[in-house]
Amino acid sequence: MKKLSMSIAVALALLGSAAVQAKTVKINLTAKEVETAIDNKGTMYRSWTYEGMVPGPVIHVEEGDVVEFTLYNDKSSKNSHSVDFHAARVDVVKDFEQVKPGEKGSYTFKADYPGIFYYHCGADPMIQHIARGMYGAIIVDPKDKAAMPKADREYVLIQSELYANPDNQADMMANKWTNVMFNGGIFKYDPVHDPAATRMLQAKPGERVRIYFINAGVNEFASFHAIAGIWDRVYPSGNPKNQMHGLQSYVVGPGDASTFDIISPVEGANALVTHSMRQALSGAIAILQYTKDADPKMGRGENILVR
Ligand SMILES: [Cu+2]
């Protein structure tokens, strides 16, 4: 009996070591030039996208994973596109090269650093490709599961600017945006400022809510703040080694990202904003509502980026 339990222990140890070995993950994205809704009324905009959505899909891997990435550029596209993963260390010329309509391009990288990283199109002119919607999030979970406190719910919020005329690069270069948005929509999660809004972020009081915040820019800095709340922890670039406590706001520059944890001791709500008021009041406000009967599906699975 003793011998048997020993051999089981050895087998489990072997299984354990196999489980922590780096795995290879295949990720595919397709660039598509389609119309997307930019507000709660359904106003359409001639976006350029990954998979027909703004932001693009949330990509989730683990520290140490080898990512085999392929970009397909849909044959209906009029422009070349590319993907620049901030989680990758590769050759900017060879790997981030733009892909022509109807063609594909591949490269491989190892996700060496845990955290929240931006991805975006780098095709020329980059300012226009990003401003039209070619951006998204890649989360690299730390290999050490105890490196960060476990989050009860997680949400991705990506800030960006809206330029009224998607063809007008001069307005983008002159920083003449009309609105700042979270996840590609004006007041997308804010029924206070837009009665047409139907979505909010949800959690229960006392839960640790983790916000993966990316600033896609293209030009503005974000001063990310929770009105009526305090960030319990902020992790610049989402790396567990970068840990700050008790912050009221934290600046995330264009092309940067950080992980923000918040816990509400009470029922009610926080308004998550960029505290630059011109940015917030033109569309960059998300209500995070705390109720005891918060929807268990929110902030989990597919709903970490609320579409
Ligand atoms: Cu592009």
**Residue 20: per-residue pLDDT:** 55
CA 87 – ligand 1 centroid, Å: 18
CA 222 – ligand 1 centroid, Å: 23
CA 70 – ligand 1 centroid, Å: 14
Cβ neighbours for 15, distance < 8 A, ≥ 6 positions apart: none
List the pLDDT tens digit at each of the 307 positions of the chain: 344 443 444 344 444 444 456 799 999 999 999 999 999 999 999 999 999 999 999 999 999 999 999 999 999 999 999 999 999 999 998 889 999 999 999 999 999 999 999 999 999 999 999 999 999 999 999 999 999 999 999 999 999 999 999 999 999 999 999 999 999 999 999 999 999 999 999 999 999 999 999 999 999 999 999 999 999 999 999 999 999 999 999 999 999 999 999 999 999 999 999 999 999 999 999 999 999 999 999 999 999 999 9
Cβ neighbours for 128, distance < 8 A, ≥ 6 positions apart: 166, 169, 172
CA 193 – ligand 1 centroid, Å: 32
Check: CB of residue 275 under 8 Å from CB of residue 225. Answer: yes
Residue type for position 104: K
**Residue 21: per-residue pLDDT:** 66
CA 103 – ligand 1 centroid, Å: 13
CA 23 – ligand 1 centroid, Å: 29
**Beta-strand pair 256-263/208-217:** antiparallel
CA 281 – ligand 1 centroid, Å: 29
CA 142 – ligand 1 centroid, Å: 30
Tokens of 108: 């491989």
CA 277 – ligand 1 centroid, Å: 30
CA 58 – ligand 1 centroid, Å: 17
Indicate whether this model's pTM tops 0.85: yes
Tokens of 25: 């993950």
CA 82 – ligand 1 centroid, Å: 6
CA 159 – ligand 1 centroid, Å: 18
**Residue 113: per-residue pLDDT:** 98
The HSE-up count of residue 23 (CA atoms within 13 Å, CB side) is: 12
CA 129 – ligand 1 centroid, Å: 5
**Residue 194: per-residue pLDDT:** 98
Q: Specify whether the backbone of 237 is left (phi greater than 0), alpha (psi in -120 to 50) or beta.
A: left
CA 293 – ligand 1 centroid, Å: 41
Q: What is the 3-state secondary structure (H, E, C) of the chain?
A: CHHHHHHHHHHHHHHHHHHCCCCEEEEEEEEEEEEEECCCCCCEEEEEEECCECCCCCEEEECCCEEEEEEEECCCCCCCECCEECCCCCCCCCCCCCECCCCEEEEEEECCCCEEEEEECCCCCHHHHHHCCCEEEEEEECCCCCCCCCCCEEEEEEEEEECCCCCCHHHHHCCCCCEEEECCECCCECCCCCCCCCCCEEECCCCEEEEEEEEEECCCCEEEEEECCCEEEEEECCCCCCCEEEECEEEECCCEEEEEEEECCCCEEEEEEECCHHHHCCCCEEEEEECCCCCCCCCCHHHHCCC
CA 149 – ligand 1 centroid, Å: 37
